[in-house]
Chain A
Amino acid sequence: EVQLVESGGGLVQPGGSLRLSCAASGFTFSSYSMNWVRQAPGKGLEWVSYISSSSSTIYYADSVKGRFTISRDNAKNSLYLQMNSLRDEDTAVYYCARIAVALGDAFDIWGQGTMVTVSS
């Protein structure tokens, strides 16, 4: 079964750090570009970051640039999001999502999400 499973969320104080992980299974992880998408409580979806299959191309939303770092380990079938200098407005469910080039780059597989709460 094709699956993405996020972990690493939790409660952190403003200014703190957290590292999210996304474990992939059921497909050749190294062949796919990946993304992080977040959703604040009661709000819409916000794209956060993109990483190509070989890690050669990386993009960030302006709201997280300079604070978040996306990375991947193809040998471990894992995607990561290092989040530093966290702010209240970073509170959200964070999803990892696979890009399907054959589907016009649509996000065809999503994880179940992991909740990050930034609060003192």
Chain B
Amino acid sequence: DIQLTQSPSFLSASVGDRVTITCRASQGISSYLAWYQQKPGKAPKLLIYAASTLQSGVPSRFSGSGSGTEFTLTISSLQPEDFATYYCQQLNSFLYTFGQGTKLEIK
């Protein structure tokens, strides 16, 4: 099975900051990676697919990069509504593993 490791698990930042979350895969997954945002009590929301393509309607301050085993999600200038938990997910092979999540909190 492919394992995904996100870092950091917790991140404290301020409005306007630039933040980066990393997701590492235990084996190469090409660009078959997605990023989701989840707010408390809500379903996850797709932000980025194919490692770097922004889902329709998602603000351009979100960006993704990487391929193979290392991927990043960057938020260029944090907004109040961005404080949430972020998950990466590999779609290269069943089982569709998720990373353990990164909780982004207000400093």
Q: Interface code A91-120, partner B: CB below 8 Å = 1, 0 otherwise? A: 000010000100111111011110000000
Whether A47 pairs with B95 at a CB distance below 8 angstroms is yes
Chain B at the A interface: SS class: loop
Count of chain A residues with Cβ under 8 Å from any Cβ of B? 22
Segment 17-61 of B: residues with Cβ below 8 Å from A: 31-32, 34, 36, 38, 42-46, 49-50, 53, 55
List residues of chain A with CB under 8 Å of any chain B CB.
Answer: 35, 37, 44-47, 50, 59, 61-62, 95, 100, 103-108, 110-113
Interchain residue pairs with CB less than 8 A apart (13) = A44-B100, A45-B38, A45-B98, A59-B95, A100-B49, A103-B34, A104-B34, A104-B50, A105-B32, A106-B49, A106-B89, A110-B44, A111-B43
